[in-house]
Chains A and B, each alone.
Chain A
Amino acid sequence: MLGSGTMWVKRKKISLWTMGNVENSKRNASDITAIADAELVGKTRAGDNKAFEVLVRRYQKLVYNIIYQMIRNHDSASDLTQDTFLKAYKALPGFDTTKSFKPWLLKIATNSTLNTIRDQKGQQSLEELLEVNPQAEPASTEDVEQEVEWRVSQHMLFDALGQLPIQQRKTFVLRYQQDLPYEEIAEISELSVSSVKSLLFRARENLRKILSEQLAVSQNV
């Protein structure tokens, strides 16, 4: 009795693994990197770490660059990128599979980064940090439209972006550098689409003001 029981267990095990191997080789023959996020999420939840590796490789550059634009430091960006994927992996069993993986992942990334920035700034409250930046108040039409020749370099835009309040900078980067649709940005930021648009408007006006001032200084002095 004992003998046949073990045999049964073993046979079942073998057949399971054979199935697994056939599936693996089929997948390798086609292309695992072409599999959609949702399927990879499902496979990861079923214990297939190879599937999670594909997700890591698919999104690590996007995650890294968004975090980098927010925190502007490569070491911190590396740490936060690792942190993001680890948090995502741990939270994956509770992930709502009716939703998309990408905005969910980017929400983890940007929230972790905001928390880190808040910790670094110490006393300042997050709300203060997000919206109030005395150097980047919304532009009045008058001082933006000085008679400057408008030739902006990438370097200037990068610097000007660094002076924006973090929430505006994040939104600008998600929309224009990473080309994400408003709906996704709204999901990532837990805001309405119209709030995203108004953040973008303020970000662009502030950027124009900062760039105009920089141009005026470099052209007049």
Chain B
Amino acid sequence: MSIVLVFLAVVAAIAAWWLSQQRLMAKPWLEQGSTAAFPRTESGSMPAAKIGLGVFLAVVGCLFALFASAYFMRMGFPDWRALPVPPTLWLNTGILVLSSVALQCAVFAARNGQFDMVRLGLVTGGLTALAFLAGQLVVWRQLVAEGYFLSSNPANSFFYLITAMHGLHILGGLVALGRTTAIAWRPEQRDRLTLSVELCAIYWHFLLLVWLAIFAVLAGWAAGFIEICRQLLT
């Protein structure tokens, strides 16, 4: 469970930093009046949707940290036979990076008011994400064809489970992306567009990060890294 504890430590550090700015040492029973005297303690001006997304990403991060924790615990048992890494995964990773880049371009374009570019970015991002999902399915087919079935080994089970979970999150993101793309074609909703595009991009970058971590775990590099850490500590 050490991975999820590390993750929670990071979350706790962020929470502690934020709390430390909130005048937790104040003596509210001595202070009346408005809060003009203590700035930055009221609700911030950041859009609620952005904060909401941040909190949601913490939950998603926790979910995958738990999967990783379970993965490493289960790995220690003797029946574990690691999978080969299908080369297609590299291709998929590249596609997902492209997807993220496209959405980032859309963000810049939205901030500059270039709405054609926004549409292009959004559509590219969406299509590449779909391509990524298709690629993941291809990987599954390849593995099945080579006889790596879901339940024939725990390593396989984890591979399918974790990639499926990640894919589901991308799928959910695609729903939001679809709605944002629809907004991009409606000039009367332009004021909402920049925020929506930003939210999509943040979510995409996060899922890319999660994917890179998953890839490292599934391919076995993460285990080597953790082994080095362990040896350094002892």
Partners in one complex: no
A residues with a Cβ closer than 8 A to B are none
Chain B residues within CB distance 8 Å of chain A? none
